[in-house]
Every structure is written in structure tokens, then in C-alpha cells.
Chain A
Amino acid sequence: MELHAAQFPFLSLLLLICIAGLALVLILPAKSNAAVKWVSAVCSGAALAVSVFLFAAYDRAAGGMQFVEQVEWIPSLGITYLNGIDGFGAPMLLLTGIVFFTGVLSMWELDYRVKEFFALFILLVTGVYGMFMALDLFFIFVWFDVSLLPMYLLIVIWGSSAREYGAMKLTLYLLFGSALILPGIIYLVSSSGLATFSIPELVQNARFSDFQQKIAFLLFYIGFGILAGVWPFHTWSPPGHVAAPTAVSMLHAGVLMKIGAFGILRVGMFLCPQGWIYWSPLMAALATIGIVYGVMVGLRQTDLKFVIGYSSVSHMGIVGLGFATMTVDGINGAVFQMFAHGIMTALFFSAVGHFYDRTHTREIGELGGLSRVMPAASGYFIIAALAGIGVPCLASFWAELLVFIGAFRSYPALAFISVSVLVVNALFMLRVVQKTCFGPVNERWANLGDMTFSMGFPRAVLAAAIVGFGLMPFLMYDVIQTAAVPLINGLSTLADQADADSVNTILSGLTSRLP
């Protein structure tokens, strides 16, 4: 793993922007709602700008870890403040930036405890940003928890139906996850004998036995997998989505579930490749079950947010399937799917949030004909639904395409099953679209207003991202590739030497092949 030191600490700047925004929101007097909103908007706009810059400035030819910053934090414990992004981190930062910005703008009409809401929201995003850039296991764990805990308050205070239940379930599940991750981290670090938490150093120098890798990978897979909505640990996610307010649902489905998948990738696959190889059939099976199951359960739901929640389970299953394939195509597709799904669900929840604000119901049976009354809102809803179906030239198509190709190379039968779910998926999405947006106008909604420009703007940004990356997928794949190819090359070296008796040779083979 090659580390390219940063000329300027852009990653810390990103965190600082968030922390400054948070501090400013906290300083402002409690009544100044407008000022709080503007501060949050400017903060998120600046964060988005830096994220876009980092994504664009990431050197595709050089690859490896870039913008690396390193400061000794607690030398006695081997904890360093070590940040950096590779081809997996850069798209995730971009995703976070987009969802953060559009999420803040989507909550522009909030008028209850505004200051507290935006303070918690920014805190949550800070944790997410930190998680995507941290290269030190200790910091990964800290950021992971920072991004989880505000969620509880955000749902309990500003949520809707069954919010106490949803929030409690979500928090308990996710804390259970982190209760598995922490032992995993401590186990790995202590058995490495290196007294360091730094991932690059562990990848380079640690010699983990097969057994150690299998145990640790399983802990990480379940711990992070709970957050990634891996079947059968997904049941926290749909009620959580339903209970959360719009922007929190967007962030939750758009970014938080990606943290889980990213954790599996960054911690599990980088540190425990043998464990990854060993457990991949299990991952593939669970992912395929999730893909089928999410769609099937979603088919019977009547609440719009439950529908999207279960479709998320299905779409995150595609990410899991991509990871399990252990092919470049699979990893590329999975990471792109993380990005595409994040944008897509954010748009979905954003549009549904607008419906709910206006009609105060999310029951599919009560809606209908919204295209006539709210052409813009339902237009965005339809774009999100089409992206969910996997229509070509929208971002998620390319992700699914590569995952299925990768899956077909490794697990043809599972690939056949997942591909055939596409029909049910189309039926399921189009049925929801038909019942909410199409058909005669329901009298009750006939006088409701559409989005104003300011409300439409964040949705337009999300839709533009879906269509833009859908038409030009190479923009994303050029970046993801730079990390996926070395990862898989290392793995194939490992597989070639699978019979070698010494684990040391295997791992040195892995590290030498990394650029």
C-alpha cells in the first residue's frame, strides 16, 4: 500500500469545516433558525466543494493512498492520527458531500428545535467523513461510533411513526455491531505483536495466521455487516428509515449503510484476506438471499418508506455479492453500487419526504395521481425508481452490471438468481410508482403545491449525479479501479500460494504486489 503524503491537509480541512460548522451552530442563539440553516448550508456546501475537489484531484495514474496525513496521537499505544483516501475512499467522500449538502437543503422547512437538529446532523456527518478517511483502526472505531450515536436522538426527537421503537432497535443493533468490531480490532492488534493500530503498517508487516484472519474477518463481517444491512441482520434498517425524518433517512440509507460496507472492505478485506477468501461463499449466499428477500418483502409493504427500506436491503445485497466475488469487476461494481445506491436512496427519501410533508401520509393506497399535482416531486421519485430498477444510463445500472458479471465468473448459479430478481424488482418499483404518482388525482391532494425552486434544487443535484454518472460511468470506475486492481492482484497471489505452508510468504507476496 503506497502512501502519498499530502501537500496540504485537505482531509483534515474537511473535518475542520464540519467541526467549525458544528461549533458555529452551537454558538448561535437558540431562536435564530434562519442563521442556523444558513450556517449549515454554507458548511455543507464547503464540505461538498472540498469533497468534489478531492475526488477530482485524486491521481488516477498513481493510485494508492493519497492525501495522507500522519500525526502521532498516543505513541505509547501505537495510535496515530492517520488519514488518507484511495480509490474506495474518494467516491465515498463525494457521496457523503452530496448527501450532506442535499440533506441540509431538504430540511429547509424544519421549524422544531432547529439548532439541535443541525448540530446533531453535522456531528453525524463529521463521524461519517472521519470513518471514510481514517486509516487507523482506533480512529475508525471512534468515528464509527460518532456517526452512530447522534442517530438515536435525531430519530427520537424529530422522527415520525413508531420512532421510539425504531430508534431503540437501530441503536441496539448497531451497538451490538460495534461490540463485535472492538474485540476484532483488539484481537488483531494484540496478535500482530506490532503495537500499532495503523492499517498500512499492519498490512505491510503483520503476520496473521489463517485462523486469526478467519476469526477476525467474521467479527468484522458481522459487526460492520449489521450496519450494511446484511441479511439476516437487516431488520433494524426498514423501521429505522420509517421513523427517521427526511434528511436523516437520506443520510442513514445513503451514507450510513455504506459505512458498514466500507468497514468490511477497509478493515476486513485489507487486513484479513485469508478470512475473506474463507468466508466468501457465506457472504455470497447471504447477499443473494438479501437481494431476493428484500424485494419480496418490499412487494407486500404499504408504507412508502418501508418499500424503499426493503429495496435498500436488496440493493445492499448487490454490494455484498460484489465483495464476495473476489474479482475486480465485482469489487468495482460493489463500490460503485455503494455510491449509486447512496445517491439513489437519498433522492428517493427526499422525494418521499416531500410527499409526506404535503400529504401527511405515506400509505401507498391513500396516495395517487401525484404527478398531476406535484410534477417535479414525482418526477424525481420516478427517476429514483428507475435507477432502482437498474435502467441503463442511470448510475446503478453500471454497478449492477459489473457485480453480475463478477458474480457470474465466481458463482454462476447465484448470479442467475440475482439477475432474475430484476423482473420482480421492476414489478415492485413500477407498481409503487403507478399507485403513488399515476392514476386519477385524489381529491384530497388536488390543491397541494409542488416544490419551489429552493426545494427542488437539492433533488436536482441528486438527479444530476444519477444521470451524470450513469452516462459517464468511467469517471467513477477510473478511480475505483486504482484500488480494486491491486487488492485483487494481491488476492490472486495469495490464492496461487494457498498450499504454501508458511503464512509469512503469503503475506509478503501480498504486500510486494501492492504498489
Chain B
Amino acid sequence: MFADPVPIVSLYLAWSAALIPLAAFGVIMVFLRRVPRAAAGVSLCSIALSLIFAVSLLVRHWHMEGPLESTVAWMVSGDFEIPVGVLLDPLSLVMLVTVAFIAFAVQLYSLGYMAGDPGYARYFGFMSLFAWAMISLVLAPNILQLFIFWELVGLSSYLLIGFWYEKFSASRAGKKAFVMTRAGDTLFFWGWLILLVWGGTLSILDLNNSAHDLSGAMVTVSALLVFGGIIGKSAQFPLMTWLPDAMEGPTPVSALLHSATMVAAGVFLFGRLFPFFSQSDVVMTVCLSVGTISMLMSATMAMVSRDIKQVWAYSTISQLGFMIMALGAGGYAAGIFHLTTHAGFKALLFLCAGVLIHAYETNDMFEIGRAGGRRMKLAVLCMTAGALALSGIWPFSGFFSKEEIMGVLAAADNPVWLICGLAGVFLTAYYSFRLIFVILLPGTMAPGAVKDMHARSYGDLLIYIVLVMLTALTLVLGFFAESFHEALGISGAAPEGAHAFSWVHVVSPVLAVAGIVTAWAEFGRKSSQGTGFAERIGPVGRLFSSRWYLDYLYARIADRLLDRGVAEGCRKNENHVIEGIIGMINGSVIRAGRMAAGWHQAMIQTKLMALFAVVFGLILILLVV
């Protein structure tokens, strides 16, 4: 399948969508650092333009025949070219609109949310940088361009997570996010080096159409290495622990990070290279297992956390696990559809949590509940809608995408995946509604003034507009599943058989409802204890709440192996061995000098002795000769 060139108008639209946020970033960082309002305006206008261009691109190419690609050489080194360009196909168009829309909504929300922050201008500058990086990543036609923006997405996350740099935990969380994703990126780097040097191509379309020189084994190896990058970026097992910490950033940043940008990049890359990954069964099985493990593990962590943002963060890992399971089981459209719907409702959940956290100045759901969180009616209502979508209840968008994933898993050879998936459905509903019931139906509630922010100011109004907009989206998006499938059908992905209606589609909603009921029994009822079933078994609760000791393990590795092990060894070598050798050379030079100096001492006896010896020797030689 050869790609046609992108029509010139679309090319301009795509380039502008990507580059306008970059221009906004430059303008803000260079000129508008001290003019916060103008900075916010520039940033918002740029992302609004990107959104308009993205939507017009989607409309123009709604029924495209095949992928369109245009590249130019950005840099030439010998016979190696680094091309930049755009690749337009249904996947990139859908992602483009999703990214631009979520970024726009989040920036609109931030206008009010971040008001008064001393770093207001810087915040919007970084937001624009983030938008540029993610949009260019989505449009990338080759792995190298994708990798470049992949790294830039990581950089923007680092800057935004550590945005409140004076908070120690924030700057540490930013560093952790960068370093852990970098660990995955190293594997990705290896992977694309293999693709480039031994496979001979980095073009996504070439790779997907098997137009490379790799043997079957090398395909497996390189795809696994690339998947390592996905594990890091999408916070999958075992590199998952940076994501819960990343909530140290401002809440809108978490919303952006968890929905359409940073973590979505990983799943997007999987989708992008889906046909390439499908060339190896081993890779698909590994993906399926990693997705399953991450999905279940983070669900257990979410069950015991008291921090609202942390619960949603764990749920993100879990949902990404679902997407990777779907893709790993061959359900391309199901995985990508879940990515899209998830972006909408996860942004909604975080933004609602932000409103509550802003009002009550705590992240603890029990405290918010006791302080009377449910009096903020609109925010709690929208959050409940988001939680319903997350749990997969009809008619919210999550229901449709989750059912598709279950259908794909049911079609897989091994029933283990389906059982794990169904367990995940139950746990998801349970932990989401644990949170909702804790806030909605607290045992006791402090009396007090109604802390409602409904349209108290212009900024708050914007916040609520965004919440309602996202809620509406969550309600309607599910009904576009059919047209979504049609659009994605041409991506060269393996065709999926129409899933027959099976018992799975009965069991899965029932399990979701069962999860909600369990949550109600433990947290919602009047006589409930307020402790979950996992917490009642001491060790299990501790295991879950300390994140399966993964952080502990990494800290040990970093400290013992790296800092005090290899690095200290190198330092000792530097200071003792190398310096010691230099010292020895020094010392021997000095000793030699002393020795030579000794020959020049004014001791007449030794000199005369030497003189006699030389003369005697010479005479001897003369005699002999």
C-alpha cells in the first residue's frame, strides 16, 4: 500500500495545527513572561486554532481511501536523512482531534483554576509546548520524528509535574516521571536503532506493510524493545509507579497527562505500529500479559488509596492496561476507541476532582466527604457521570468501549485473559464508586456554609462550562461507535470479525453493577464501616497501599546498586586507583630527580672515586684494545 501525498491545503492545515502552539510557546517564554493575561490569551488562541484545523482536517478526510503522507528532509548526514512530515490516516486524525480538544478544554479550565498563581504565564507556555509536542507526535510519519516528540512530551510533563518547584515532592515527582519514562525510552531507542540499521527503514507505513529487511526473530526483538518505551510512557508494569506521583502537578496538568497526552502516547504508538507488532505472536502475547498485570495490579492499588487524584491515577494505569490488552488480543478498533472515550471521561474526572480539591484544600476523599463535598452539586454530579463511564454503565461512553474490549478478549484463545478482564471490570466499578459513595454519602457531615462555587466569578464559570461540555461528550460519544469503526477500518489493521452477541456482554455489565453494589455496601450504607474488603485483611491491604513495594524496590536499586554501588566504585577508582597511579609516576619522577641531584652533591670523595673508576676503566679498555 503506497501512500498518496497529502493535498496541499491539508498539509498546511496539519503543519499549522502543529506549529502554532510552538510559536505560542516561543512568544510566551521570550516576551510574555511578565504579562500573564496576554500569555494565557496567546496560548488559548493557539490551541483553539489547532483545534479548528484538526476538526477541519477530520471533516475533509472523513472517508479517506488510504493513508496520506508527505515528508521533507530536515537534516541530511551522508546518505542518511532525517525526514519530518505528516501522516494522515484515521488513527492520526482521530487522535489529533482528541488531543487538540482535550488540550483546549484543559486550558480553558486552567484560566480560572490557575488564576493568581505566580507562574501563570510560564504555565501556559509549558501547556503550549505540550500541545506542540503531542500534536506533532500524533502526525509523525516515521519512528524517528515520533521518538523526538515522544521525548519532548516527556520533557513537557517533567516541566509541568514539577511546576510548583518549591514543593519538594513536586520536583521529585517530575524527576521520577522523567527518569522512569527515560528508562523505557532507552529500550525504544535500541528498538528503533535496530529498525533503522538492520531493518533499513523507519517509515511507519513501510514497517506496517512488512517492507523491511528484518528476520522474524529480529521483528520480535525490535518490537519488544519498542514496547519497552510504551511500558514507560503508558505507565505499565513494571514502570508504573511514576504516574501516581505525577499528580503533584496542578490538577489540570494531571487531567491532560492522564487523558490525551503523555500516557496516551504509549497506547497511540502501539496503535500506530499495530500491524508491525502483529507480525510476531510472541510480542502480542507479551503485550497482553503486561496489560493484564498492570490492569489488575493498579486496580488493587486504587481500592485502598484515600487520595482522590491517586485513585484516578491508578484507574488510568488500569484503563491503559485494558487498552493494551485489547490491542494485544488483536482488537485494534476496540483499543483505540477506548483510548478516545477514556480521554474524555478521565479528563472529566480529574477536572471535577480539581474543583473539590480547590474548594476543600485536601486530597483526602474522606475529609472532603466529611466536610460536605456533596454540596458542590454540579461537580459531584459530573464526577458521578465520569465514574459511571469509567465503570462501564450504559449509556455512558465507557460502556461501549469496554464491551468491545470484552468481546475481543472473549474471542481470544485463552480464557485467562477474559477472566482477568471481567475481574478488572468488577474492581473498576468497585473503586470508582467507593470514591463516589465516600463523598456522596458520608456517615457524618460537618455543618457549615454551602461551599459552592457555582459561577462565583468569570473563571469559575469557565470551569463549569468545561465540566458540562465533557459530561455531554461522555454521554454522546458512545453512540458514535459504529462510525468510528468504519473510519478506522482502512488503517491496514487486521480485519476483526463482527463480534457475535455472547454471554460476555451480559456478565460484564452485571459485574460492573455488582462492583457498585459492593462499594455501596461497604461505604454508602448508613451502617457501613467505611473500610473495604481488601483493607480488612491486613497484609493484603498493606501490600496494595504500598504499591506492591515496587517503589521500595526501585529506591533500593537506585541507592544500593547505582549510587553506592557502581557510582561509588567509579569514584573510588577515580580518587584512589587513577590518582594513585599518577601519584606513583609523580613520586618516581621526584625520586629520579633526587637521585640525579645526588650525583651532583659537593662530596669530593665520591666524585674522585667515580673519576678514578672511569679513568681506570678507560685505561683498561685502551689496554685491551
Contact = CB atoms under 8 A, between A and B. Distances in A.
B80 to A, nearest CB: 6
Interface residues of B, number: 45
A235 B148 contact: no
Contacts of B172: 434
Question: What is the predominant secondary structure among interface residues of chain A facing chain B?
Answer: helix
Interface stretch (B174-182, B311-319, B421-429, B595-603): B174-182
Given A329-B77, A426-B179, A477-B77, A409 B197 contact: yes
A235 B562 contact: no
Interface in A242-280: none
Interface stretch (A78-86, A294-302, A443-451): A294-302
Interface stretch (A46-54, A208-216, A353-361, A480-488): A480-488
Interface string B579-596: 100100000000000000
A49 B579 CA distance: 43
Given A405-B196, A422-B182, A431-B175, A392 B152 contact: yes
Contacts of A438: 162, 165-166, 168, 171
B527 to A, nearest CB: 46
Contacts of B171: 434, 438-439
B566 interface: yes
Interface stretch (A11-19, A149-157, A413-421): A413-421
A485 B77 CA distance: 9
A427 B557 CA distance: 13
B228 to A, nearest CB: 11
Contacts of B451: none
A371 B165 contact: yes
A235 B193 contact: no
B79, B197, B568, B569, most chain A CB atoms within 10 A: B197
Given A299-B562, A393-B152, A419 B189 contact: yes
Contacts of A100: none
B33 to A, nearest CB: 9
Interface stretch (B339-347, B384-392, B501-509, B570-578): B570-578
A42 interface: no
B322 to A, nearest CB: 28
B143 interface: no
B190 interface: yes
Contact of B571 (A297, A333, A386): A297
B116 interface: no
Contact of A473 (B75, B78, B197): B75
A296 B566 CA distance: 7
A60 to B, nearest CB: 11
A458 interface: no
B166 A372 contact: yes
Contact of A392 (B151, B178, B183): B151
A329 B570 contact: no
Contacts of B566: 296
B117 interface: no
Contacts of A332: 77-78
A408 interface: yes
B76 interface: yes
A398 B75 contact: yes
A237 to B, nearest CB: 12
A391 B574 contact: no
Contacts of B168: 438-440
A430 B197 contact: no
B165 to A, nearest CB: 4
B189 A296 contact: no
B152 A391 contact: yes
Interface residues of A, number: 53
A422 B76 contact: no
Contact of B186 (A328, A419, A437, A474): A419
Contacts of A285: none
A225 interface: no
Given A329-B80, A405-B196, A300 B571 contact: yes
B458 interface: no
A438 B166 CA distance: 6
B231 to A, nearest CB: 14
Interface in B149-204: 149, 151-152, 155, 158, 162, 165-166, 168, 171-172, 174-175, 178-179, 182-183, 185-186, 189-190, 193, 196-197
Contacts of B152: 391-393
Contacts of B446: none
Interface string A390-403: 01110001100010
Interface string B219-236: 000000000000000000
A424 interface: yes
Contacts of A422: 182, 185-186, 189
B562 A404 contact: no
A474 B74 contact: yes
Contact of B578 (A232, A408, A412): A232
A405 B166 contact: no
A448 to B, nearest CB: 16
A293 B168 CA distance: 29
A415 B558 CA distance: 23
A404 B178 contact: no
B563 interface: yes
Contacts of A342: none
Contact of B166 (A397, A419, A440): A440
Given A300-B571, A441-B166, A405 B80 contact: yes
Name, among B78, B186, B189, the residue most crowded by chain A CB atoms within 10 Å (CB to CB): B78
Interface string A9-36: 0000000000000000000000000000
B41 to A, nearest CB: 22
A423 B186 contact: yes
Interface string A485-501: 10010000000000000
A427 B179 contact: yes
B173 to A, nearest CB: 10
A439 B166 contact: yes
Contacts of B571: 296-297, 300-301
A89 interface: no
B38 interface: no
B567 interface: yes
A423 B179 CA distance: 6
B197 A391 contact: no
Most chain B CB within a 10 A radius of its CB, from A300, A391, A437, A473: A300
A437 B162 CA distance: 12
Given A232-B578, A371-B165, A297 B567 contact: yes
Contacts of A439: 165-166, 168, 171
Contacts of B74: 473-474
A369 interface: yes
Nearest to B170: A438
A391 B570 contact: no
B193 A408 contact: yes
B578 A328 contact: no
A392 B148 contact: yes
Contact of B197 (A296, A405, A474): A405
B78 A484 contact: yes
Among A332, A393, A404, A416, which residue has the most Cβ atoms of chain B within 10 A?
A: A393
Interface string B68-83: 0000001111111000
Contacts of B179: 423, 426-427, 430
A437 B171 CA distance: 10
A303 B175 CA distance: 20
Given A332-B78, A430-B178, A393 B148 contact: yes
Contact of B78 (A391, A404, A481): A481
Return the 6 tightest CB-CB contacts between A and B, nearest first.
A328-B78, A438-B171, A296-B570, A299-B567, A438-B165, A392-B148
18 contacts: A235-B578, A293-B570, A297-B567, A297-B570, A300-B570, A327-B78, A328-B79, A329-B80, A371-B166, A391-B151, A409-B197, A416-B190, A419-B189, A438-B165, A439-B168, A440-B166, A440-B168, A488-B78
Given A235-B578, A372-B166, A434-B162, 10 more contacts: A296-B567, A405-B196, A409-B197, A422-B189, A423-B182, A426-B182, A427-B562, A438-B171, A474-B74, A474-B75
